[in-house]
Amino acid sequence: GAGVSQTPSNKVTEKGKYVELRCDPISGHTALYWYRQSLGQGPEFLIYFQGTGAADDSGLPNDRFFAVRPEGSVSTLKIQRTERGDSAVYLCASSLQGSGTEAFFGQGTRLTVV
Amino acid sequence: AQTVTQSQPEMSVQEAETVTLSCTYDTSESDYYLFWYKQPPSRQMILVIRQEAYKQQNATENRFSVNFQKAAKSFSLKISDSQLGDAAMYFCAYRTPQGGSEKLVFGKGTKLTVNP
């Protein structure tokens, strides 16, 4: 595609529910990143994929958060038993191969847990 | 762990004037990348300029330039001839050297207002 696409743009869910956030990277980009941006803060790293594998998942805050990229393209961030503190903008980025190449960001998914 | 500090939560500038946004960082690495990103209300992070730490020459992209002081661990962004479209949140970011984790570490951002 022309750019990184994230769906949905906005998501409201009830506390305790399960949510999935989708990221469709730029075609041919092997590196994919998820970040979380809380109100008034800069983005915080969650996880980095190189191809299908998670090369660095050190930013995932706890075991309620999980991400997959089964075919090395589209990625899904999954949050179980959502909490109000999970409310944030979730940003996805992709780059051609990581390692010095520019990362292009999507417009994010704003998650609100009520 | 690497940290990035932006000490100016908000800045304002008159249209056509020049403004400088500050950024400092902390790292024990000798080679790394530094970036300035712009985030308009659309939420999409847009790369403004990047600097490789091994390069002594300051990066320049049209009206945007940086003052990179490696010893002081300082990386400020200068915007010349400010335009209304420059109004946005600006984030300074650090990335570990090639071959390490590819994650970006961001500061808290500076909100830039451009007054007509």
* Tokens linked to A88: 């944030």
B8 sits in the region (left: phi over 0; alpha: psi -120 to 50; else beta) called beta
- Could A56 and B102 be called an inter-chain contact, meaning their C-beta atoms sit closer than 8 Å? yes
**Residue of chain B whose Cα is closest to the Cα of A55:** B101
pLDDT over threshold 80, residue A97: no
At residue B29 the predicted structure's pLDDT band, cuts being 50, 70 and 90, is confident
Radius of gyration of chain A (CA): 13
Average pLDDT over residues B62-77: 97
Instruction: Quickly list DSSP for A45-93.
Output: EEEEEETTEEEE-TT--STTEEEE-TTSS-EEEEE-S--GGG-EEEEEE
**Dihedral Cα A76, A82, A88, A89, nearest 10 deg:** 20
Distance from CA of A83 to the nearest CA of B (A): 23
Q: Which of B115, B111, B113 is nearest to B9 (CA)?
A: B111
Distance from CA of B6 to the nearest CA of A (A): 10
CA distance B49 to B38: 10
Identify the residue whose tokens are 């990386």. B75
CA distance A89 to A39: 8
Q: Which of residues 54-73 of B touch A (CB under 8 A)?
A: none
Out of B43, B102, B103, the one facing A89 most closely (by C-beta) is B43
pLDDT at res. B22 = 98
Q: Does A43 touch chain B (CB under 8 A)?
A: yes
At residue A5 the predicted structure's pLDDT band, cuts being 50, 70 and 90, is very high
Q: Does B1 touch chain A (CB under 8 A)?
A: no
**Residue of chain B whose Cα is closest to the Cα of A106:** B44
pLDDT tens digit sequence for B101-113: 678 999 999 999 9
CA distance A102 to A93: 10
pLDDT at res. A100 = 65
CA distance B14 to A88: 32
Q: Which residues of B touch A100 (CB under 8 A)?
A: 33, 98
- Could B103 and A56 be called an inter-chain contact, meaning their C-beta atoms sit closer than 8 Å? yes
Q: Which residues of B touch A106 (CB under 8 A)?
A: 44
At residue B77 the predicted structure's pLDDT band, cuts being 50, 70 and 90, is very high
Average pLDDT over residues A91-98: 87
